[in-house]
Amino acid sequence: MLHKVLVANRGEIAVRIIRACRELGIRSVAVYSEADRDAMHTRLADEAICIGPAPSPQSYLNIPAIMSAAEISDTDAIHPGFGFLAENADFAEIVMASGITWIGPTPASMRTMGDKVKAKQAMKEAGVPLVPGSDGAVRSVDEARIVAREAGYPVIVKASAGGGGRGMKVVHSESGISSAFNMCQTEAAAAFGDDTVFIEKFLELPRHIEVQVLGDKHGNIVHLFERECSLQRNNQKILEEAPSPFVDEETRQKICAAGVAAAKAVDYVGAGTIEFLMNPDKSFYFIEMNTRIQVEHPVTEWITGVDLIEWQLRVAAGEALAFTQQDIKRKGHAIECRINAEHPFKFTPCPGTIELYHAPGGRSVRVDSAIYTGYTIPPHYDSMIGKIITHARDRQKCIRRMQRAIDELAILGVTTNQELHRRLLANPAFQQGEFNIHFLENWLRQLNRH
C-alpha cells in the first residue's frame, strides 16, 4: 500500500482525502497557500507545506511548487482532488515521470476524454449513444450549415476543448449559424488554444444524469449507479441525489451499462463519471466524462456502501477491486446539499469570518466541510464551504431528513445559501421529482420577481 500521500487541493475535498488516508494508515501531506495557513486541511494533515501566495495560479496550480513539496516530503503518491490540476494530463505525466504514483486515470484516458471530439469518436466505437449531430469536427461555416440543417434546429455549437458548460452557443435558426460557428471557433482558440468545434442537436428539456464508475489496473470496471444532477445554476450544481427519481429499473440498467462501456473504451482506472443528458422520453446520450472524483461522490457512497476515496487510493497502489458488479447493491436514497458562502438568491460571494458554526448531526446525516467557528473564508477560491448529505430508505424520508438537517445548520458571520435549500426542499415540483436542467433557473427568476 501507499505510505505517504500528498493532497494537491484545499477545502472539504482535501479534508475528505486526508481522513481516508488516516483511516488506511497512510501519512498525509497538505500543501497550502499563504491564505490557507489556518485552513482545516493544513491543520489536519500529518505534514503541511506552503506552496505560494493566495492566487491559485501561484499555489494550487503551481506545478513546480507542488512537485518540490512532494520531493522534500518524500511523498509516494499525489491525489489531485477535483478542480485545480485534477484533469491536467501534463501534471499526471510529470508526477509519474518523477516516480510518484498518480492517484487517477492514465494521462491517455484524460487526454481522450478532455478532447470532446476524440471522446465522442471513442464512444461511437464503443456503442455508447451520442447526441445526433456532426460526425467529428466541423471545419467551415458551409459544413456547419449542412450539419445543422440535417440535425434540425435548435442546435448547439460546442468547443472540443471546452466542457462543463464552457465554450457553447445555442442556435435557433439558420440565420444564426454562421455567427455562432465563427464566435465559438474564435472563443475556443482564445480560451483553450484549440479552435476545434462540433455541432449537436440542442436537447431542450433534458435532465443531467451521470454514472459513477470505478476501474482498477487489472482491467476490472464496475458502475456504482447513477446520480441526478439537474438542479444547477450557471453549470454549478446545488443539490444532487442518488438514485435519480426519474430513472426506472430498465433505463438504469441501460445507462449504467453505457457508463461501463464508456469507461472500458478508454481503459479507465480509478473513479470517473460519465455525464448523460436524458430526454423526457428517457432516451439518453453521452455528453462528456469527468476523469476525477466529483463533489457529489458521497451520495453514491451512501447508496452503495463503497468508500470511493479509499478505492481511489487502493487501485492507484495496484490493488484489484475486491468486489464485482453483482456485489454492488443499491440501498435507499441519498441527497447532497452544497453549502456555499454566497447570497442565497443573488449568488454574490460572501467571504468573511465564521462567528459561529453548528453542524447538523443525528441519524444518517453526514457533513463534509472544512470550516470551524473563527475560520475566515478567503476570497480567492470557490464559494463552496461544505456539503450536507442525508440518507434514508426512500426519497420522501430522505427529503424530510435533509429538511431537518438544514434547519439544524447554523452559520453566523457569513451569508450562505441555507435559505435557498430550505425553499427548494419545500418546493412541490422538487418533491415530486419533476424537474430538468432549467428548473432551478426558471424557479429563481420567479422568486426574484416577487
User: With binding defined as CB under 6 A, does residue 208 bind ligand MV4?
Assistant: yes
Residue among 66 and 266 whose Cβ is closer to ligand MV4: 266
Shortest distance, position 144 Cβ to ligand MV4, whole Å: 15
User: With binding defined as CB under 6 A, does residue 241 bind ligand MV4?
Assistant: no
How many CB atoms are located within 10 Å of the residue 322 CB?
10
> Pairing relation of β-strands 384-392 and 284-290?
unpaired
Across 323-383, the runs of DSSP E, i.e. the strands, are: 333-340, 352-353, 356-358, 365-369, 376-377
Among 87, 195, 241, 275, binds ligand MV4 (CB under 6 A): 275
Residue among 39 and 119 whose Cβ is closer to ligand MV4: 119
**What Å distances lie between residue 284 and 109, 164, 217, 258, 280, CA to CA?**
23, 18, 29, 10, 9
How many whole angstroms separate alpha carbon 222 and alpha carbon 311? 12
Shortest distance, position 350 Cβ to ligand MV4, whole Å: 24
Binding segment toward ligand MV4, per CB under 6 A, in 6-14, 60-68, 199-207, 425-433? 199-207
Give the contacts of 372 (CB within 8 A, at least 6 positions apart). 40, 354, 357
How many whole angstroms separate alpha carbon 335 and alpha carbon 298? 9
How many whole angstroms separate alpha carbon 228 and alpha carbon 120? 22
User: With binding defined as CB under 6 A, does residue 131 bind ligand MV4?
Assistant: yes
**Residue 210, beta-bridge partner list:** 227, 275
In this structure, what C-alpha cell is assigned to residue 270? 480509478
Residue among 73 and 134 whose Cβ is closer to ligand MV4: 134
Binding segment toward ligand MV4, per CB under 6 A, in 185-193, 203-211, 329-337, 402-410? 203-211
Identify whether 292 is a catalytic site residue: yes
How many whole angstroms separate alpha carbon 217 and alpha carbon 224? 18
Residue among 52 and 259 whose Cβ is closer to ligand MV4: 259
Binding mask 76-115 vs ligand MV4 (x if CB under 6 A, - otherwise)? ----------------------------------------
> 181: closest CA among 193, 198, 194, 166?
198
**What Å distances lie between residue 82 and 59, 186, 292, 293, CA to CA?**
15, 28, 6, 6
> 292: closest CA among 9, 6, 1?
9
Binding segment toward ligand MV4, per CB under 6 A, in 198-206, 256-264, 307-315, 324-332? 198-206
**What Å distances lie between residue 395 and 242, 305, 341, 429, CA to CA?**
9, 17, 27, 14
Selecting among 292, 314, 366, 401, the annotated active-site residue is 292
| Region 134-173 residues binding ligand MV4, contact defined as CB under 6 A | 156, 164-165
Binding mask 283-322 vs ligand MV4 (x if CB under 6 A, - otherwise)? ----xx----------------------------------
Among 202, 225, 357, 443, binds ligand MV4 (CB under 6 A): 202
How many whole angstroms separate alpha carbon 337 and alpha carbon 423? 12
Residue among 167 and 413 whose Cβ is closer to ligand MV4: 167
User: With binding defined as CB under 6 A, does residue 199 bind ligand MV4?
Assistant: no
Binding segment toward ligand MV4, per CB under 6 A, in 81-89, 143-151, 202-210, 314-322? 202-210
- Positions touching ligand MV4 (CB under 6 A) are 131, 156, 164-165, 200-203, 206, 208, 232, 235, 275, 277, 287-288, 437
Just list the catalytic residues. Answer: 292
